Amino acid sequence: MTMLDTYLDAVAAQLPRDTRDDIVAELRDTLLNRFEEREAELGRALSDDEREDILRAMGHPLVVAARYGRGPQSLIGPELFPYWLFAVKAGLFILLAVQALGLVIHLVSGTPNFGQSISQAFHGFFGSALTLIGVATVAGAVLDWQNIRPDFLTKWKVKDLAALRLSDPANWATGMAGADLNAKPSAYRPRPAPKPMPGADALWGVIAGIVFVLWWIGALRGVGMTAVSFGREDMVFQPAPIWAALFTPILAYALSGVAVDLLTVVRPSAIKLRALFRIPLAAAGLWLASVLYQAGTWFTLSQDGVTALVGPAGRYLAPDAWPRMAAAGKDIDGAGLILSTILTWVLAIIAVSLVCSILLNLWRLVRPARDRV
C-alpha cells in the first residue's frame, strides 16, 4: 500500500458510506495532480518526505473528512452558543450562592470541623460546576445536531426580555426592591445613587479600627489573642510567639490607621495630606506582612498530644494549593494544611493591596490639584 493509499484510507474511514467512494476519488485526483505539478517543478520524482509534505498540506485525515461531513462542524454552533454561555453563567452564580449560604450556615451553627466545612464547600462547588457545564454542553450539542429549537428560543416576546436586565449586577437592587421589570424604561430604570457624605467610608474605618484595637489589647474579651478550641473540643488553636513580638508594632499600626481615617472624616478634601500619611502607613503594613511571612509559624494546632503548625510557605501559593486543600483529611494535619493555605493567600492579597495603596497615593501626590476627586 502506497503512502497515498494509506492517507486516503484514513480519510475514508471517517466518511459516510454512501458518499465515501466519490469523495475519495476526488481527493485522489487532486493529490495526484499536486504530485505531478511538484515533480514538474523539480524535474524529478518526489521523495517520500516530499510526498508526505504535500499530504500534510492537504490536512489531517480527521480535518479533511470533517469538510465533507454532515451536520454541524462544532459541538455547539454559533446560534446556540450565546444561550449556552448565559445558562452556564447563571447556573454557576446560583451554585456559588448556594455553597456560600451553606458554608455560612455551617459556620454559624457551630460545625464540629471548621476546615472540613470550607474544604467541602470548595469541593461541592467545583464538582457541581463541572457537572453543570457538562450537562449544558451535552444538551446544547443534542439541540444543535438534531436541529431542535425550543419555542422559547424562536418565539420569544419582547415583554419577556426584561428579566435579562438582572444579568447586570447594577440592576439587582431594582429587582430586589420589587420594581416592575416589565414597566417602561423610564419607570424601572435605576435612579442615580445619591452622592455619599464626604468621609462616610472613613468613619466605618474608624469604628472598625477602634474595635480591633480594643480586641487586640484584650478589652473586649479579657485578654488578647489566646488559645481557643477549634473544631472539635479537644483541638486547641494557639498563637505563635511572633504575635507577642509584634504586639506593639501592630497596635501602633492600627492606631495610625484610625488617625488617618479620622483625618479623612474631619478634612475629606485634604487628599494630598492624607496621601502623604497613607504611603508610610502602607509601607509599615508591608513590613509587618514581611515579618509575619518570614516568621515560619503563626499558630499551632494541638490534639491528643499531636501538634500541627500553621504558617506561610510558597507551596501554599502554588496552583495546586486549593486542590490539595480540598483533598485534605479530617485529621489535625489536614486542618493545619487548610488553615495555612487560606491564611497565606489572605496575607498575599493584603500585601498586594498595600502595594496598590502606595502607588495610588503616590499618584494622588503628583497629580494636579484640579484633578482631585
Checking if the pLDDT of 190 tops 80, the result is: no
Q: Given this model, what pLDDT does residue 152 score?
A: 63
Q: Which residue has the higher pLDDT, 123 or 168?
A: 123
Average pLDDT over residues 307-319: 73
pLDDT higher for 361 or 118?
Answer: 361
Closest CA to 342 of 115, 180, 62, 73: 115
Q: What's the chain's average pLDDT?
A: 75
pLDDT digits (tens, 9 = 90+) for 94-108: 888 887 777 666 655
C-alpha cell at 94: 446560583
Burial of 270 (0-12, 13-18, 19+ CB in 10 A): middle
Least confident range from 37-51, 100-114, 247-261: namely: 100-114
38 within 8 A of 50, measured Cβ to Cβ? yes
Per-residue pLDDT, 321: 62
Q: Greater confidence, 191 or 119?
A: 119
In this predicted structure, the answer to whether residue 371 has a pLDDT above a threshold of 50 is: no
Kindly report, residue by residue over 11-23, the tens digit of the pLDDT.
888 888 888 888 8
CA 260 to CA 276: how far, in whole Å? 10
CA distance 180 to 184: 9
Cell of 151: 419555542
Closest CA to 278 of 189, 372, 340, 356: 356
Over 70: is that where the pLDDT of 193 sits?
Answer: no
Helix (H, G, I), strand (E, B) or coil at 7: helix
**Spatial CB neighbours of 297, under 8 Å, sequence gap ≥ 6:** 240, 242, 309, 310, 311
What type of residue is 245?
A: A
Cell numbers that stand for 266 in this block: 474631619
* Out of 51-55, 149-153, 288-292, 303-307, least confident range: 149-153
Helices (H), 189-331: 200-216, 241-245, 247-266, 271-295, 321-326
